[in-house]
Amino acid sequence: MSNGRPVLKLGKHQPRYPLIQGGMGVGISGFRLAGNVARCGAVGTVASVGLAHNSPHYSQEKMSYFDSNEIVIKETLQKAREIAGVDSVLAVNCMVALTDYDREVRAAAEGGADVIISGAGLPLRLPEYTKDFPDVALVPIVSSAKAASLITRRWEKLYGRRPDGFVVEEPATAGGHLGASSIEQVYDQALSMSVALPDTVRFVAEEMKSDIPVIAAGGIWGPGDMDRMFEMGAKGVQMGTRFACTVEGDASDRFKQAYIDAKEEDVVLINSPAGLPGRAIKNPFVADYLSGSVKSSPCFANCMTHCRYRKTRETFCIAGGLIDAFNGKWDTGLFFCGSNVTKVDHLATVKEIMDDLFGR
Ligand SMILES: Cc1cc2nc3c(=O)[nH]c(=O)nc-3n(C[C@H](O)[C@H](O)[C@H](O)COP(=O)(O)O)c2cc1C
């Protein structure tokens, strides 16, 4: 503990503050946000998904989407490090559900990531892809102690390695894809923070007999929320929504304005093409989707291993929707958000948020 706060250690890496800015795709947490958060002493996280979409490598059709992704992940990390400085802690968030997951993870490790944070599925093979980079800390995102146990047992058996921490993300509050099998399960008490966090803390201490950190994510806004998580045994918190609407945030101004404007009745749950529930702002695109009449751009990248849109043309192209949101296209974008989006009332700076959280 330092100043009554836990010290967050992720393998060999120790940020000044026990805070991770969550990876937000597509493009919402790029090099500016991750670099500035890391410069302020927390873990800055680049979201690896779809970074190719606005890169010159891909957009000038010189290279395939997947080849470009690899290059842009490395370029993004390099730019983030230039902002953050050498002693900073930078993570890359890689989603298991992506077609080029293994390539994205390798690119992140080769590109100098200190930590790889991985969810949207169970990262059962993650250590295989980073075996040449033992200093890269590996942190699965889970929604229950059961998932943490399954991953740990598999890694120990196959790779003789253990996770360097777990992010426990609560579907009832978090943004983006949610770790629940259906919309009905999102508010299941078993997946609530008050159950999943202490359960996972207990699993780590009693069954793993380890002191790796458990990090709480979902619905965390201010110092009081952080303290509640620390009291339940978390050694760190991960926050997404609050950081998305910052001066340094990589999304367009229109994306950020949508956050400022969002009211409680605008925040809805949808079934994403990946077969997972997601939380988003109800704009014209989402309203059409919920009423069964959405028009979508064609699949252009085969970006996910399981995609209902690619298979059956049901739902919509999620890459297209998220990229439109990043670019601020209000009528056609999918604006993912956490339930805390209703608290966003201005464009903050990263420093302002850090001062609010730790300046006491
Ligand atoms: C716009 C947006 C995009 C997100 N994209 C990803 C992603 O690509 N991968 C991932 O693992 N989590 C993603 N998340 C989840 C965040 O990393 C974070 O864990 C979560 O939002 C924490 O909850 P909070 O937003 O209430 O702070 C996303 C969240 C938001 C708001």
In this predicted structure, what is the pLDDT of residue 1? 58
In this predicted structure, what is the pLDDT of residue 2? 57
Q: Which residues contact 106 (CB under 8 A, 6 or more apart)?
A: 70, 129, 130
Domains present along the chain, CATH in parentheses: 19-252+344-358 (3.20.20.70), 253-340 (no CATH)
The per-residue pLDDT for range 15-50, each reduced to its tens digit, is 999 999 999 999 999 999 999 999 999 999 999 999
Report how far ligand 1's centroid is from the alpha carbon of 12 (Å).
24
Question: What is the SS3 assignment for 335-347?
Answer: CECCHHHHHCCCC
Report how far ligand 1's centroid is from the alpha carbon of 94 (Å).
12
Report how far ligand 1's centroid is from the alpha carbon of 157 (Å).
30
Give the integer Cα–Cα distance in Å for 143 and 5.
24
Atom 7 of ligand 1, nearest CA residue: 24
Helix 31-39 vs helix 65-84: crossing angle, to nearest 10: 30
In 3D space, the residue among 284, 237, 323 whose CA is nearest the CA of residue 5 turns out to be 237
- Find out whether the beta carbon of 23 lies less than 6 Å from any atom of ligand 1: yes
Which run of H or E residues covers position 83? helix 65-84
In this predicted structure, what is the pLDDT of residue 297? 83
Q: Per-block average pLDDT, block size 10, for the chain (360 residues)?
A: 84 98 98 98 97 85 88 98 97 96 98 97 97 98 98 98 98 96 96 98 98 98 98 98 98 98 98 94 97 87 87 88 97 98 98 94
Adjacent-strand bridge partners of 280:
268, 336
pTM for this one? 0.98
Helices (H) then strands (E): counts for the chain: 14, 11
Atom 10 of ligand 1, nearest CA residue: 23
In this predicted structure, what is the pLDDT of residue 99? 94
In this predicted structure, what is the pLDDT of residue 200? 98
